[in-house]
């Protein structure tokens, strides 16, 4: 049969075939009993997926075509996440050390575990005060659970110390959003990108960390959008950029000020927008005059012409989008950097229109909702403030407590560690976090967690942090419960339950409510379902900045997600912010002058290189889930250090050599991946691994002064050929890693200003 007469050209057959195959699924799907529409639980994109269920188990996944963000696509993590559900490593019994710190963790009944926790918490609080027990929560959980954790801390435990892992993630972004724009949310939906003629990505590895956003970027490129990327590494999207700025880590605000300098010098500012919609421009204008690109180029290790080119491109756009992420935010100047980025967008009038905006790419699955549900140290639900008398009074009334009994602000997660070391915090309830991989300066973190009198961790897989716990509680994975999550656009979506937790494990919210009952606070936690928690959080956020009151489970299903703020059930939600006004009382955005300050630690003779850390596509965060997924582990089985070939040559290091990376905090030995895609003065280690493979052995725990995020992206380091292989080297063939990481990529020449490889 000739092809052109075949079924592909026969409209009717085509249609018929489609229906037939939908009605009669592929053989491998014969057994599938149900397709449960839900979302991927990993990154903030929250792609839509159908989980395939058979015999009470999740057996597979397919992408959802009807969810507008991913439209039939999933990344390698999304296609394999279902494999965590029936995983043989699932925790299915509480574990407890019955006879003190030196006794083993052994399986115990739920009653014994929960009674012990309640008894120990009460004893410790009786002896040392309520604030001696802290809650350390996470943002990879539903809004319902994040809300519950904030309430559990303040009402169940009556402690002021409640914070979460978003402190390590979104707190610089929050600082910048709050200071400059007045609302802590992305300004635009992802689809706005298709209306942009210039897209500027600074400090975000979109290709590996938000893979499905990349497809929007390509569509925008197909429509002619120009791309500017600023990153010390040539990431996958940087390879295609029109202008690539391989800046030195920690110099972002200098670059952004210089770009604004050029925009100003060349008359590209939007005077009308500045006059009608902002305040504070004069100070910023005066400041950026001192940042000519010719001077800044030296600071950033760039060529002045490239900075000028980027500024002209961005400033000349009709509609430009600016994306930032942790590259710019994981710094001791992270809030300043974010503010400097917003300054540039404000000065060019890039807000509140299709294709014009600013978006900090929110990382964790519910990194948006998790930062507004009241589990932060100084926050109450809806982005309300715990020190604001009206907010306190309102939430106290929703919770049915006396305002006087509402604790005040407590420590940020990163400040809990020194407080544990000091013996001020003596016990901790931790859920959905793995600080024994994720916190900087692991040696100090370990000392602090070991110093606790009593440490409880709730997880579904035994993590590096569980190893230090006195009690481990087996919780649920995302598809064993229902609830909502708010994606990186501010779109509230819904997870649907596919299966029950395995026998022995329980739903997180049921565990926390049961614990509250045993602490004598059961009347405040009467929930029978996640939906009941959601209904309460709708009321708790009513009238607040992050207003969820008009959002219902049914409306989310109907609309494929609802963007907050959504004050009434009739309101369809708000995909694009700042069309008419910004989030402050006067409706105007705020310019703030940002003086460039160098990172806390700069290279010197002993530590001549800059170490930066981050992600690869195959692993998610601390890797506790993805390192258990065979395909993902095979692709990235252990950490490595990326080092420029010129630097490697100077140091006598070849590809695949074992090398020791040292900083003032510690050292680790990993294989060298010699590349051309990184600045010669910089090295990079992915952070998804634990124990002696944890990049955070090396990182600097210095904090951003306002919002307390660690400087994961910059510290001084040295690299030498290893004398000894690490404890995990046996059977490891670094050449396999090279194969998995693909061929060497080349960083385009940026001229001499990149400086000598090793200073």
Ligand X SMILES: Nc1nc2c(c(=O)[nH]1)N[C@H]1C(S)=C(S)[C@@H](COP(=O)(O)OP(=O)(O)OC[C@H]3O[C@@H](n4cnc5c(=O)[nH]c(N)nc54)[C@H](O)[C@@H]3O)O[C@H]1N2
Binding site for Mo ion (CB under 5 A): 169, 363
Nearer to ligand SF4, 79 or 172 (CB): 79
Which of ligand SF4, Mo ion, ligand X, none does 140 bind, CB closer than 5 to 8 A by kind?
Answer: ligand X
Piece of 2-10, 280-288, 419-427, 691-699 that binds ligand X (CB under 6 A): 691-699
CB of 745 to ligand SF4, least distance (A): 22
Tell whether residue 42 is a contact of ligand SF4 (CB under 6 A): yes
Tell whether residue 169 is a contact of ligand X (CB under 6 A): yes
Tell whether residue 237 is a contact of ligand SF4 (CB under 6 A): no
**x-or-dash string of contact with ligand X, 407-446, rule CB under 6 A:** ------------------------xxxxx--x--------
Whole-Å CA distances, 71 to 66, 215, 472 = 6, 10, 39
Tell whether residue 228 is a contact of ligand X (CB under 6 A): no
Q: Binder to ligand X among 80, 360, 497, 696 (CB under 6 A)?
A: 696
List binders of ligand X among 648-687 (CB under 6 A): 687
Piece of 37-45, 411-419, 599-607, 695-703 that binds ligand SF4 (CB under 6 A): 37-45
Nearer to ligand X, 670 or 714 (CB): 714
List binders of ligand X among 350-369 (CB under 6 A): 363-364, 367
Contact assessment for residue 318 and residue 196, using Cβ atoms and an 8 Å cutoff: no
Tell whether residue 47 is a contact of ligand SF4 (CB under 6 A): yes
Tell whether residue 343 is a contact of ligand X (CB under 6 A): no
List binders of ligand SF4 among 196-225 (CB under 6 A): 211-212
Preceding peptide of 221 cis, ω within 30°:
no
H helix or E strand, kind and range, residue 230: strand 226-230
Tell whether residue 310 is a contact of ligand SF4 (CB under 6 A): no
Write the DSSP assignment of 509-543 as a string of letters. Answer: HHHHHHHHHHTT-GGG---SSHHHHHHHHHHHHTT
CB of 235 to ligand SF4, least distance (A): 15
Which of ligand SF4, Mo ion, ligand X, none does 360 bind, CB closer than 5 to 8 A by kind?
Answer: none
Tell whether residue 615 is a contact of ligand X (CB under 6 A): yes
Tell whether residue 152 is a contact of ligand SF4 (CB under 6 A): no
Tell whether residue 495 is a contact of ligand X (CB under 6 A): no
Provide the β-strand partners of residue 379: 385
Can you tell me the distance from the alpha carbon of 448 to that of 445, in angstroms, rounded to the nearest whole number? Answer: 5
Nearer to ligand SF4, 82 or 399 (CB): 82
Can you tell me the distance from the alpha carbon of 406 to that of 160, in angstroms, rounded to the nearest whole number? Answer: 8
CB of 192 to ligand X, least distance (A): 19
Can you tell me the distance from the alpha carbon of 243 to that of 675, in angstroms, rounded to the nearest whole number? Answer: 21
Whole-Å CA distances, 3 to 9, 11, 15, 19 = 8, 14, 17, 21
Write the DSSP assignment of 159-227 as a string of letters. Answer: -S-EEEGGGGTTHHHHHHHHHHTSS-S-SS-GGGGGG-SEEEEES--HHHHSHHHHHHHHHHHHTT-EE
Counting Cβ atoms within 10 Å, is residue 691 exposed (0-12), middle (13-18) or buried (19+)?
Answer: middle
Piece of 247-255, 388-396, 516-524, 535-543 that binds ligand X (CB under 6 A): 247-255
Contact assessment for residue 456 and residue 475, using Cβ atoms and an 8 Å cutoff: no
Q: Binder to ligand X among 135, 168, 243, 416 (CB under 6 A)?
A: 168
Tell whether residue 693 is a contact of ligand X (CB under 6 A): no
Can you tell me the distance from the alpha carbon of 521 to that of 507, in angstroms, rounded to the nearest whole number? Answer: 19
Q: Binder to ligand SF4 among 32, 35, 53, 77 (CB under 6 A)?
A: 77
First to last CA, the chain: 69
CA-wise closest residue to 249 among 611, 608, 596, 607: 611
Provide the β-strand partners of residue 201: 229, 323
Tell whether residue 140 is a contact of ligand X (CB under 6 A): yes
* Three-state SS annotation for 663-728: CCCCEEEEEEEEEECECCCEEEEECCCCHHHCHHHCCEEEECCCCCCEECCCEEEEEEECCCCCCC
CB of 44 to Mo ion, least distance (A): 8
Can you tell me the distance from the alpha carbon of 138 to that of 186, in angstroms, rounded to the nearest whole number? Answer: 20
User: Which residues make up the interface to ligand X (CB under 6 A)?
Assistant: 43, 138, 140-141, 165, 168-169, 202-205, 208-210, 230-233, 235, 249-250, 252, 325-328, 330, 363-364, 367, 431-435, 438, 458-461, 463, 475, 478, 508, 612-615, 617, 619-622, 624-625, 687, 695-696, 699, 712-714
């Amino acid at each position: 049969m000739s092809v052109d007469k075949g079924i592909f050209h026969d409209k009717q057959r085509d249609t018929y075939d489609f229906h037939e195959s939908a009605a009669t699924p592929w053989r491998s799907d014969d057994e599938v009993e149900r397709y449960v529409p839900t979302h991927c639980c990993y990154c903030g994109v929250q792609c839509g997926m159908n989980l395939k269920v058979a015999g009470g188990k999740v057996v597979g996944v397919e992408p959802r075509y009807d969810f507008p963000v991913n439209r039939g696509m999933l990344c390698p993590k999304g296609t394999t996440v279902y494999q965590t559900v029936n995983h043989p490593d699932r925790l299915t019994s509480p574990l407890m050390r019955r006879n003190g710190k030196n006794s083993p963790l052994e399986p115990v009944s739920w009653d014994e575990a929960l009674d012990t926790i309640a008894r120990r918490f009460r004893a410790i609080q009786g002896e040392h005060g309520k604030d001696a027990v802290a809650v350390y929560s996470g943002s990879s959980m539903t809004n319902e659970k994040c809300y519950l954790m904030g309430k559990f801390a303040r009402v169940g435990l009556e402690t002021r110390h409640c914070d979460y892992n978003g402190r390590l993630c979104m707190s610089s972004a929050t600082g910048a959003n709050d200071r400059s724009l007045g609302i802590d949310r992305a300004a635009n939906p992802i689809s706005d990108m298709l209306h942009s003629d210039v897209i500027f990505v600074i400090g975000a590895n979109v290709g590996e960390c938000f893979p499905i956003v990349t497809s929007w970027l390509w569509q925008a490129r197909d429509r002619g959008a120009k791309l500017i990327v600023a990153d010390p590494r040539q990431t996958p999207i940087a390879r295609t950029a029109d202008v690539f700025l391989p800046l030195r880590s920690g110099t972002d605000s200098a670059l952004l000020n210089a770009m604004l300098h050029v925009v100003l010098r060349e008359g590209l500012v939007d005077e009308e927008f500045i006059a009608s919609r902002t305040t504070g421009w004069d100070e910023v204008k005066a400041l950026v005059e001192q940042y000519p690109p010719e001077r800044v180029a030296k600071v950033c290790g760039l060529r002045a012409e490239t900075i000028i080119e980027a500024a002209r491109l961005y400033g000349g756009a009709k509609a430009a989008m600016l994306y930032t992420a942790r590259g710019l935010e994981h710094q001791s100047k992270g809030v300043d950097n974010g503010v400097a980025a917003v300054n540039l967008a404000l000065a060019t009038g890039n807000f509140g229109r299709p294709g014009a905006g600013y978006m900090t790419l929110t990382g964790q699955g519910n990194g948006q909702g998790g930062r507004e549900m009241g589990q932060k140290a100084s926050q109450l639900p809806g982005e309300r403030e715990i020190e604001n008398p009206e907010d306190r009074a309102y939430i106290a009334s929703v919770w049915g407590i006396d305002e006087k009994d509402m604790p005040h602000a407590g420590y940020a997660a990163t400040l809990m560690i020194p407080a544990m070391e000091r013996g001020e915090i003596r016990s901790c309830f931790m859920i959905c976090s793995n600080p024994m991989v994720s916190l900087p300066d692991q040696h100090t973190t370990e000392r602090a967690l070991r110093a606790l009198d009593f440490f409880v961790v709730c997880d579904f897989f035994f993590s590096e942090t569980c190893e230090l716990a006195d009690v481990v509680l087996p919780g649920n994975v995302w598809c064993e419960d229902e609830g909502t999550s708010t994606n990186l656009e501010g779109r509230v979506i819904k997870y649907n339950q596919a299966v029950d937790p395995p026998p022995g494990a329980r739903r997180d919210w049921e565990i926390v409510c049961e614990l509250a009952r045993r602490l004598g606070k059961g009347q405040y936690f009467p929930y029978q379902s996640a939906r009941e928690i959601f209904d309460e959080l709708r009321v708790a956020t009513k009238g607040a900045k992050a207003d969820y009151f008009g959002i219902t489970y049914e409306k989310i299903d109907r609309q494929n997600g609802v963007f907050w703020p959504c004050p009434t059930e009739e309101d369809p939600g708000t995909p694009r912010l700042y069309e008419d006004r910004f989030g402050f009382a006067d409706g105007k955005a705020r310019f703030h002058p940002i003086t460039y300050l160098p990172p806390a630690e700069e290279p010197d003779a002993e530590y001549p290189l800059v170490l930066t850390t981050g992600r690869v596509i195959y692993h998610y965060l601390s890797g506790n889930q993805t390192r258990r997924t065979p395909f993902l582990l095979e692709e990235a089985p252990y950490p490595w250090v990326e080092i420029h070939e010129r630097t490697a040559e100077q140091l006598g290091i070849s590809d695949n050599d074992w090398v020791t990376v040292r900083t003032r905090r510690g050292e680790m030995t990993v294989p060298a991946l010699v590349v051309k895609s990184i600045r010669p003065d910089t090295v990079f280690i992915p952070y998804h691994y634990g124990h002696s493979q944890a990049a955070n052995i090396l990182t600097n725990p210095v904090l951003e002064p306002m919002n307390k995020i660690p400087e994961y992206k910059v510290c001084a380091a040295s690299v030498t050929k290893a004398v000894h292989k690490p404890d995990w080297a046996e059977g490891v063939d670094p050449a396999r890693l090279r194969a998995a990481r693909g061929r060497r990529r080349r960083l385009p020449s940026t001229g001499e200003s990149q400086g000598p490889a090793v200073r």
